Each structure stands twice: as structure tokens, then as C-alpha cells.
Amino acid sequence: MSVETKTKDTARLHFTNEPQNSTDMNKPQLTLFAILALLGVSCSEAPAPTGAPHHIDIETRADLHAWFRYAPDRPVVVSGHRGGMVAGYPENCIESFGKTLTMMPSFFEIDPRLTRDSVIVLMHDATIDRTTDGSGRVSDYTWEELRRFRLKDRDGKVTEFRIPTLEEAIQWSRGKTILNLDIKDVPLEFMSDFINRLNPPHVMYTVHNARQARLLLDRDPDAMFSAWCKNLSEYRAYREAGIPASQMMAYVGPMMLADRQPLYDSLHRQGIMCMISVAPTHDRRATETMKQHGYELEITSGCDVIETDYPYLFQDLDLNRR
């Protein structure tokens, strides 16, 4: 597989900060971002005015594919695991996505599950015990029944926020960010039909093997994947299944490892970004300062994307590689 030539659609691809008035919409730096994207040059987004959201504007599937192309000089990208968490803002919660975007750009990994009446909602666990003021299995409730519960934040504090549906999250996030679906108990065919009906340009799938990727690609030739790919054997399986390099980001594990450098080099040669997750490592450190010290180690490790429970802790870190 070879890296696909960038199309003119890439010119629309940029981080944006929501304009404060009509004059802001005409500022020349947006044109500069478009030119840089067209040329394949990466840069960090302009500082947002105080309180202005940082948005990732994806208008087409071509934009989505191009946004995930590897570039060695691009700053490390941050992804919110389970949608990210801040005190007072729960995981898998639309209001939490919005809170993070007031502080920094991020895309979000989220967790779709099915209710008893086949509505897709966001919930990591099979039960609602840990994350809401209710109890029981998601699959035992109808959507109407689930709506009465309120979400808890990471400290167990009950908030005013409710369990969202996936459709609500997709509608809210369009033009603002990218959603990465880490599908729980939703059958892949059911999920594919649902996504194909909505046809959102800014949604991608987490897949754990080449078979899952091939099934989804057969049903949607433009599908974008966050693909578990922790060794060269797994990477070969994706190639043999015909998964385009231009439609993959590779999840390579919780950290970059020296003995897997041939894998990273192979992925980068094909334009594929390498993502790690610090959720099981540095996110579990005792203090925010300790977490940030760990993040700084990973920023310089050669990864391209860092997935974290706490994207807001990256807002003051230097994401440029050294």
C-alpha cells in the first residue's frame, strides 16, 4: 500500500476556533491553515480567545482521512478516552466534550451500547452502577427508562447531565470534533447500518482485528479506522485484508517500545499515525503534576496520538516533538 496523494479537499482541513464575530471569519490565518494543509505542512492551531471553543472541522470523508495522515513535524494529537473527564463532567457525556473543547482541541473515543429497545447510547460499562445514580444493565432498560438517571463524574458526584444517545452525540459534534466509536455490545452490522444512514463525515470505528475492519469496509468503502495493531503480524493482516493505509490510524499499545520500532517505521512509511493510550499508565498516577510528567515522557517517545482520560491536562504542555 502506498500513501494516497492528498486531494484538494485537504484544503478545507484545519483546526478552527469558533469566531466571535463576522470580522473574525475573514481573518487571514484561516487561509494560511488551508494552504498549509494543502501543502502537507502541519502546525498547531492559533490560540483561542478566552472561552472560545477549539474545533476540528471535518466536512467530508476525504477530510477525515487526510486529518489522520502521518507527518513527522506535526505536534502530537490528543484524544479523550471515554470522551475525557473533568471534575464535574462525566465520561461519555456531550457536555464533557464541550468542556474539553473550551480548553484545547481533541477528538473523542466513546463507547456505544444498546438499550433493550435497540437505541444506541453512550456507556462504557455493561451496567450503569458506576457512572449514574441508578443501577442495573444498560440492556435491561429502554431508552425512556434510562433518561431518568443522572451521570456521575469521576469522583462519584451526581451531576445534572443525562445519558446521551449516539445520534445526539453525532449531531452535536459535527463541525466541532471527531468521534471514535469503541463499540461495546452493538452488532457491527447494526452499527454500520446506523452510521450509513446518518452518513456523518467525522465518525470513525475502533477495530480490534482485520476481520472487523474488512466487514465494516465492505459495508462502507470510506470507513476510517482506529485499528489495534501491536505487532508486524497484525499489521500484515490488515494489509492482506485490503484495508487502505489512508483509512487507518494504528493503536500500538500503552507506550512506544524500542523492540517494535520496525512496526512504527512500517506504519509511518505508509502515512499511518501511531496512537498510544496512557489510560492504564500515567492517567493512574496520584496527582495531576505526576500525570503531566508522565505525559511529557510520551510526547517525545515518537508517538503521534496520545489517548487519555484527562485531555485538559495537556493544554499547557508542549506537544511539539523534539
Q: What is the pLDDT of residue 31?
A: 38
Beta strands in the chain (DSSP E): 14-17, 54-57, 77-80, 107-110, 112-114, 120-122, 150-152, 158-162, 179-181, 203-207, 225-228, 248-253, 274-277, 305-308
Q: What is the pLDDT of residue 9?
A: 38
Q: Using an 8 Å Cβ cutoff, are 207 and 225 in contact?
A: yes
Q: What is the pLDDT of residue 212?
A: 98
Q: What is the pLDDT of residue 322?
A: 73
Q: What is the pLDDT of residue 52?
A: 58
Q: What is the pLDDT of residue 314?
A: 97
266-317: pLDDT as tens digits: 999 999 999 999 999 999 999 999 999 999 999 999 999 999 999 999 999 9
Q: What percent of the chain has pLDDT over 70?
A: 84
Q: What is the pLDDT of residue 224?
A: 98
Angle at 291 between CA 112 and CA 316, to 5 degrees: 90
If one looks up domain 61-314 in CATH, what number appears? 3.20.20.190
Residue segments in the chain with a per-residue pLDDT below the cut of 70 = 1-52
3-state secondary structure of 79: strand
